[in-house]
A and B are shown apart, each in its own frame.
Chain A
Amino acid sequence: MNITDFAPWICWISPLIGALLTLLSRDNTVKGVAASSSVLVSWISALLMVPMVSTNQALNVKSGWIYLPEGEPTSLGMLVDSLSIIMVNIVSFVSFLILVYSTWYMRREDGQTRFWALMSLFTSSMLLLVLADNFILFFIGWKMVGLCSFALIGHYYRDEERYWIGGPPPSPFQKPSTCALKALLVTSFGDVAMLSGIILIFVYSKTFNFVTLLNSSPEWMLKMAQSPGLILASIILLLLGVAGKSAQFPLHIWLPEAMAGPAPVSALIHAATMVKAGVYIVARLFPLYYNTYWIVGIQEARFFFQIVAFLGVATAFLTATEAVTALEIKKILAYSTMSQIGYMMMGLGAAGLSQEATIAGYSGSMLHLLSHALFKAALFMSAGAVIHLTGSIYIHEKSLDKRRTRLIWFFTWVSVLSLIGVPPFSGFWSKDEVLAACLESGQILLFSLGLLTAFVTCLYSIRMMYHVFRVDAKVHDGGGHTHSEEEPVMVAPIGVLSGLSLIIGILGYWFKNLFKEIFHGFLSMSLRLETYPRGEWVESTLIPLSSISVIAIASVASYFYYVKYRADYVNLIVRNPILEKLHKVFWNRWYIDKFYESVFVRSILSVRSGIQGKLETSMDVLLNIGVPGIFSRMSQILRSMQTGLLSVNMLYVLIFLAVMMIFLLVG
């Protein structure tokens, strides 16, 4: 028995125990420490698994769980392979840092028990999701993270006005509880779709196990392919789930509103981990569809990659443009998160569309996942610090004096540069890898939109940075935090994360190749192919050149636009009608929210009032008042037959006699 056999279990159970511990303690500090240390334990056990990355061997730790009358028994099993190990490490490490940060951020907030328990529970579920070896266990984690996300977005459930987001005034405000509900509903819509996809697959494959699914895919996929459209349906359903959880295009509308929660929540759930779950499951299912399409040769499986790529690029571009107009710092980051996840999806899609780009796309998007987790978590934490220190969620209202918050300023810039993709930060390498995969797979559209998105990314990042950290401290209002604004507990996590961005960026080339090696091994192991058709790894200078030049143009443009001319959204509208129109479109999020609102929400509301007002009421009246009414009416009629007149009574007798006589004698 090896310690690494237990590691995956310890990894996800430890935060669960931590969650229970936080419930027991009364002291807020103890709660924080309990939660963070339990996550620390997970991280350590995650680290213990790291050596297995290079073995290219899936470790499947199982125990019996659910025995159905048919199909393979579902196990309570952990699947430990390169993909899950890397994910586990990212998740547990980032979670740990964010929990440490939270001890500072949450120190004066209400509802700490709730917060810590849910954060620990979330971490546990996220780790379970990643480690699960079958769909059911995975889906349990998947739903649990959604639920924790709901609860944490609604942390300020009392809807005090200072926690409202949205606005400023011409635009509507939204209350945290509404935002939480929106997030829950939108993601759950995806979850339902995903569950039906999973069930659809089970009906044909009779198993939930990822490994068995892959190994037996030729048989059941062929069976499934016999009814055309079914594979496509299962793909669409699964990807709807992905879109919901990862805030991708059709179901991306919830993430901006999810920013109503406290900053650590946004950092952990809505930037670093939960929204990556979608990417994870796409990566997990990648070999399955890859195998089906390229090796078994079922054409329908290609849709998987096409849809993933399409969703990715659409989201990346749409949300990046939305970020340009956003006024809340966390919303900008949220848009940016969606956009970056779009990159990851794009990479995975491109990886499947062409065999040449497979390794590059896959490892690129994984690398991007890693680097995004690092810099976005750091960014959110600094955003939290900014909001905490200025007391405003808007970038245009108040800003920090960078002279007084030098460390934050520095770390934020590191992360932002990584986000923009400036060399030598980690974002540069990963984004380039994704773009390279797009180009390699011949998807020019993907590539060009990706570049365009990089351009927009640079615009909004610089805009944000300019607004947040202004030298002229005229608007800075510390709100009582005028001294010692940078506490070590707050700054250290940000520093570690952005430092890691920098380090990975510096070691970028090596890191990139390391990832390629790992995932090459992983994919060839998963697909059981000794001679894997490995394409030439793109070493062209075209990609870095083009991306760097795009970024350069963008930064110059944004410098002039935002810094020099100090374009605010007000004078923007005044100046240029085209920009004004664009601004309007972006500000209204391409009218997608409004469209959903009018199509789905309104229709549900009108159907429900129609059903209640017309159908139900009329049925109710008919059956519960009408039928008894008929009986009462009949009762009245029958009672009026009881005249009390003896003559009439005798007449009845005569009639009865006559009728009986006639019937009996005739009939």
Chain B
Amino acid sequence: MWSSNLLLQVIVIPIIVSIIILLTRGRLGKAGAYIACASLTYTSLILVSLYIQLWSSLTSIYEEYSWSQFLRLKLGLLADGLSLPIALIMNLLCTVCAFYSIPYITHRIEILYGGENDKLLNLYFAIYLFFAVGLTGVALSTDLITMYLFLELVLIPSYFMIDLYGYHDRHRIAMMYFIWNHLGAGLFLAGIVLAYFSNGGSFNIFDLAKVQGGSAFWVCFFILLGWLIKMAIFGFHVWLPHAHGEHPTSIAAIIATIVGLGNYAIVRLLVNNMFNAFQLFGLPLMIWSLVTMVYGAFLTLAQDDIKRLYACSTISQNAYSILGIASCTTLGVVGGIFYFISHMIGKCILFSVAGIVVYLSEVRDMRKISGLAKLAPSTAILAILGSMILSAIPPLSGFQAEWAMFIGIFEKSVEIGYLVAFTGIFATFLTLVYTFWPIKRVFFGQPSFESNSVKKEPPMMVIPLFILSAISILFGVYPDFILRLLTYSSI
């Protein structure tokens, strides 16, 4: 009986825990944080078991609950080869970042509000749990409105996170972040509504396939535009460096995930269901993402602020996935999603590393930090591992994703010329520059600190990240673990 609504549990349990934490109003203290972590661990374990089940049997799991019959809304949760890996990884990231948050946010609250404040700590975790709900929900939902709901469910907590626990100028930036994202979500909603009228009144994702003719173009256009704003593609990217730079670092990784969520959505909605209409956008999107890639890379190179650096790199990294997906080839799409997954892991590690650096040194300007590797060896290793994921160095997953993706892009290039493919692949070189150069600046060189003036790296911050790296290595060494699912449910 309990196993018949596993997916619902994944959605509901964090909400319940969050409400409990909220209602106790800070009386739980640190225990609240651990309860939150425990609930997330539980949901992750559920997803892991489902993942293994799906991997061995290749049969999707579907649960449906009614919501509003008038609007024909259903809470459908589908775990198939595309959604489950995404959901699993996002849930894992949330879990990892939850553990990571405990020392980080305690420290952050201390700086911001003076003294350890159990209320704020518990508020943090109560809000935090909604990330897990929202992200998993977006991945699993089979209903466009439900998807939108979960999407906004992610947006609200992140607003509060920036506003309450962020860095410099956090109020303005929280608002900026919210408005940009809300606008993107609104355009997505416009696409949804348009689709509703073009496919005979259904919000089901798979009924998008019924949208035909000219309206298909517009549905595709609005959905794409909405998500591209959220994905910070060139031109709409200006909010991202700010938002990511000023986040509390414990959730910056999650924000990076939110940014990348568009990859999943585009594949789920457009590639899988509206392939013909999406194809029209293929080439412009490829070129656009190329511009974004190169632009983002140079932008990243220009950063001196360690958090902003990784923020800017998200722009560029996301564009890779878009490039792969826009190629409209099987491998391009599969690789794009795979790349998105591995980028999530990598970005989580890197942002957390930035967080540790800031935690240890209280400095964000890379010009003022150097030689940290001696004092924080684990962090340095993590930084290198994260950079390896991003710059596609095996045996981490980034490499496997990248070649698979670029095969797709090259296949597309047979038709449209190789300029796009070559520019794209050579832009990955810039990734290497902007990931390893900061490592050199921050971790190598003559130490800028006295060894006793810097705190020790808290194991709670480091160990979860190593677990993430291990997952990435697992995917890198045996990519079939994820490719099998992705290929089974791709176009």
| A199, B429: Cβ atoms closer than 8 Å | no
Contact with B along A575-616 (1 / 0, CB 8 A): 000000000000000000000000000001101110111011
In the assembled complex, A178 has its CB within 8 A of some CB on chain B: yes
Instruction: Report which of A70, A144, A612, A624 forms a contact with B330, defined as CB distance below 8 A.
Output: A70
Minimum distance in angstroms from A99 CB to a CB of chain B: 22
Contact with A along B18-55 (1 / 0, CB 8 A): 00000000000000000000000000000000000000
| B393, A157: Cβ atoms closer than 8 Å | no
| B444, A157: Cβ atoms closer than 8 Å | yes
Contacts of B331 in A (CB 8 A): 68-70
Determine, out of A185-193, A321-329, A559-567, the stretch whose residues face the partner at the interface. A185-193
| A158, B371: Cβ atoms closer than 8 Å | yes
In the assembled complex, A471 has its CB within 8 A of some CB on chain B: no
In the assembled complex, A33 has its CB within 8 A of some CB on chain B: no
Contacts of B479 in A (CB 8 A): 65-66
| B407, A203: Cβ atoms closer than 8 Å | yes
In the assembled complex, B437 has its CB within 8 A of some CB on chain A: yes
Q: Considering the chains assembled together, what is the distance between the CA atoms of A233 and B393 in angstroms?
A: 23
| A68, B302: Cβ atoms closer than 8 Å | no
Complex interface residues of chain B between 383 and 424 (CB less than 8 A to chain A): 384, 388, 391, 393-395, 399-400, 402-404, 406-407, 410-411, 413-414, 418, 421-422
Complex interface residues of chain B between 335 and 381 (CB less than 8 A to chain A): 371, 373-374
| B393, A147: Cβ atoms closer than 8 Å | yes
Q: Considering the chains assembled together, what is the distance between the CA atoms of A667 and B144 in angstroms?
A: 40
Contact status of A177 and B444, CB under 8 A, knowing A144-B395, A196-B406, A203-B411 = yes
Contacts of A268 in B (CB 8 A): none
Contacts of B302 in A (CB 8 A): 608-609, 611-613, 616
In the assembled complex, B170 has its CB within 8 A of some CB on chain A: no
Complex interface residues of chain B between 240 and 260 (CB less than 8 A to chain A): 241-242
Does more than half of chain A's interface fall in helix, strand or loop, or is it mixed? helix
| B403, A136: Cβ atoms closer than 8 Å | yes
- Report the interface size class on chain A: 35 or more
Contact status of A624 and B393, CB under 8 A, knowing A69-B334, A136-B403 = no
In the assembled complex, A181 has its CB within 8 A of some CB on chain B: yes
In the assembled complex, B215 has its CB within 8 A of some CB on chain A: no
Q: Considering the chains assembled together, what is the distance between the CA atoms of A604 and B413 in angstroms?
A: 27
| A185, B436: Cβ atoms closer than 8 Å | yes
Contact with B along A343-359 (1 / 0, CB 8 A): 00000000000000000
Instruction: Report which of A177, A619, A623 forms a contact with B440, defined as CB distance below 8 A.
Output: A177
Minimum distance in angstroms from B336 CB to a CB of chain A: 14
Q: Considering the chains assembled together, what is the distance between the CA atoms of A486 and B371 in angstroms?
A: 35
Q: Considering the chains assembled together, what is the distance between the CA atoms of A591 and B305 in angstroms?
A: 34
| B301, A608: Cβ atoms closer than 8 Å | yes
Q: Considering the chains assembled together, what is the distance between the CA atoms of A499 and B393 in angstroms?
A: 38
Instruction: Report which of A151, A175, A615 forms a contact with B445, defined as CB distance below 8 A.
Output: A175
Q: Considering the chains assembled together, what is the distance between the CA atoms of A47 and B173 in angstroms?
A: 64
Contact status of A624 and B238, CB under 8 A, knowing A68-B483, A200-B410, A203-B414 = yes
In the assembled complex, B176 has its CB within 8 A of some CB on chain A: yes
| Chain B: CB-nearest residue to A203 | B410
Complex interface residues of chain B between 431 and 465 (CB less than 8 A to chain A): 432-433, 436-437, 440, 443-447
Minimum distance in angstroms from A204 CB to a CB of chain B: 9
Q: Considering the chains assembled together, what is the distance between the CA atoms of A136 and B299 in angstroms?
A: 31
Q: Considering the chains assembled together, what is the distance between the CA atoms of A188 and B388 in angstroms?
A: 12
Minimum distance in angstroms from A545 CB to a CB of chain B: 47
Contact with B along A55-77 (1 / 0, CB 8 A): 00000000011111110000000
Contacts of B395 in A (CB 8 A): 140, 144
Q: Considering the chains assembled together, what is the distance between the CA atoms of A193 and B425 in angstroms?
A: 8
Contacts of A188 in B (CB 8 A): 391, 429, 432
Q: Considering the chains assembled together, what is the distance between the CA atoms of A138 and B473 in angstroms?
A: 17
Minimum distance in angstroms from A322 CB to a CB of chain B: 26
| Chain B: CB-nearest residue to A73 | B480
Q: When A and B form their complex, what is the total count of cross-chain residue pairs whose Cβ atoms lie within 8 Å?
A: 147
In the assembled complex, B295 has its CB within 8 A of some CB on chain A: yes
Minimum distance in angstroms from B414 CB to a CB of chain A: 7
Q: Considering the chains assembled together, what is the distance between the CA atoms of A611 and B413 in angstroms?
A: 28
| Chain A: CB-nearest residue to B412 | A203
Q: Considering the chains assembled together, what is the distance between the CA atoms of A326 and B411 in angstroms?
A: 47
Q: Considering the chains assembled together, what is the distance between the CA atoms of A147 and B479 in angstroms?
A: 20
Q: Considering the chains assembled together, what is the distance between the CA atoms of A200 and B407 in angstroms?
A: 8
Minimum distance in angstroms from B327 CB to a CB of chain A: 12
| Chain B: CB-nearest residue to A229 | B418
| Chain B: CB-nearest residue to A230 | B418
In the assembled complex, A202 has its CB within 8 A of some CB on chain B: yes
| Chain B: CB-nearest residue to A65 | B480
Instruction: Report which of B235, B330, B391, B484 forms a contact with A67, defined as CB distance below 8 A.
Output: B484
In the assembled complex, B478 has its CB within 8 A of some CB on chain A: yes
| Chain A: CB-nearest residue to B404 | A68
In the assembled complex, A143 has its CB within 8 A of some CB on chain B: yes
Q: Considering the chains assembled together, what is the distance between the CA atoms of A185 and B399 in angstroms?
A: 16
| A158, B487: Cβ atoms closer than 8 Å | no
Contact status of A143 and B394, CB under 8 A, knowing A68-B404, A203-B414 = yes
Minimum distance in angstroms from A662 CB to a CB of chain B: 33
Contacts of A178 in B (CB 8 A): 440
Contacts of A160 in B (CB 8 A): 446
Q: Considering the chains assembled together, what is the distance between the CA atoms of A623 and B235 in angstroms?
A: 9
In the assembled complex, A364 has its CB within 8 A of some CB on chain B: no
Instruction: Report which of A151, A184, A604 forms a contact with B432, defined as CB distance below 8 A.
Output: A184
In the assembled complex, B490 has its CB within 8 A of some CB on chain A: yes
Contacts of B393 in A (CB 8 A): 143-144, 146-147
Contacts of A68 in B (CB 8 A): 331, 404, 407, 483, 487
Q: Considering the chains assembled together, what is the distance between the CA atoms of A178 and B446 in angstroms?
A: 12
Q: Considering the chains assembled together, what is the distance between the CA atoms of A67 and B58 in angstroms?
A: 15
Q: Considering the chains assembled together, what is the distance between the CA atoms of A609 and B304 in angstroms?
A: 11
In the assembled complex, A374 has its CB within 8 A of some CB on chain B: no
In the assembled complex, B113 has its CB within 8 A of some CB on chain A: no
| Chain A: CB-nearest residue to B429 | A192
| Chain B: CB-nearest residue to A601 | B433
In the assembled complex, B239 has its CB within 8 A of some CB on chain A: yes
Instruction: Report which of A65, A154, A177, A189 forms a contact with B429, defined as CB distance below 8 A.
Output: A189
Q: Considering the chains assembled together, what is the distance between the CA atoms of A193 and B422 in angstroms?
A: 9
In the assembled complex, A159 has its CB within 8 A of some CB on chain B: yes
| A158, B446: Cβ atoms closer than 8 Å | yes
Complex interface residues of chain B between 104 and 132 (CB less than 8 A to chain A): none
Minimum distance in angstroms from A314 CB to a CB of chain B: 23
Q: Considering the chains assembled together, what is the distance between the CA atoms of A157 and B372 in angstroms?
A: 10
| B480, A66: Cβ atoms closer than 8 Å | yes
| A69, B298: Cβ atoms closer than 8 Å | no
Q: Considering the chains assembled together, what is the distance between the CA atoms of A185 and B436 in angstroms?
A: 9
| B429, A140: Cβ atoms closer than 8 Å | no
| Chain A: CB-nearest residue to B446 | A159
Contacts of A184 in B (CB 8 A): 432, 436
In the assembled complex, B426 has its CB within 8 A of some CB on chain A: yes
Contacts of A233 in B (CB 8 A): 418
Minimum distance in angstroms from B469 CB to a CB of chain A: 14
| B487, A69: Cβ atoms closer than 8 Å | yes
| Chain B: CB-nearest residue to A176 | B444
In the assembled complex, A294 has its CB within 8 A of some CB on chain B: no
In the assembled complex, B91 has its CB within 8 A of some CB on chain A: no
| B445, A611: Cβ atoms closer than 8 Å | no
In the assembled complex, B428 has its CB within 8 A of some CB on chain A: yes
| B388, A147: Cβ atoms closer than 8 Å | yes
| Chain B: CB-nearest residue to A114 | B377
| Chain A: CB-nearest residue to B426 | A192
In the assembled complex, A180 has its CB within 8 A of some CB on chain B: yes
| A195, B446: Cβ atoms closer than 8 Å | no
| A181, B440: Cβ atoms closer than 8 Å | yes
Q: Considering the chains assembled together, what is the distance between the CA atoms of A596 and B244 in angstroms?
A: 34
The 4 A-B pairs at the shortest CB distance, nearest first, are namely A612-B302, A177-B444, A140-B394, A157-B444
Offer 19 A-B interface pairs, CB within 8 angstroms, sorted by A: A66-B400, A69-B490, A146-B393, A157-B443, A158-B371, A159-B445, A185-B432, A189-B429, A192-B426, A192-B432, A196-B410, A199-B425, A203-B411, A203-B413, A604-B298, A608-B299, A611-B302, A613-B302, A620-B242
| A-B contact sample (4 more), CB < 8 A, given A144-B393, A608-B301 | A139-B394, A192-B432, A196-B425, A619-B238
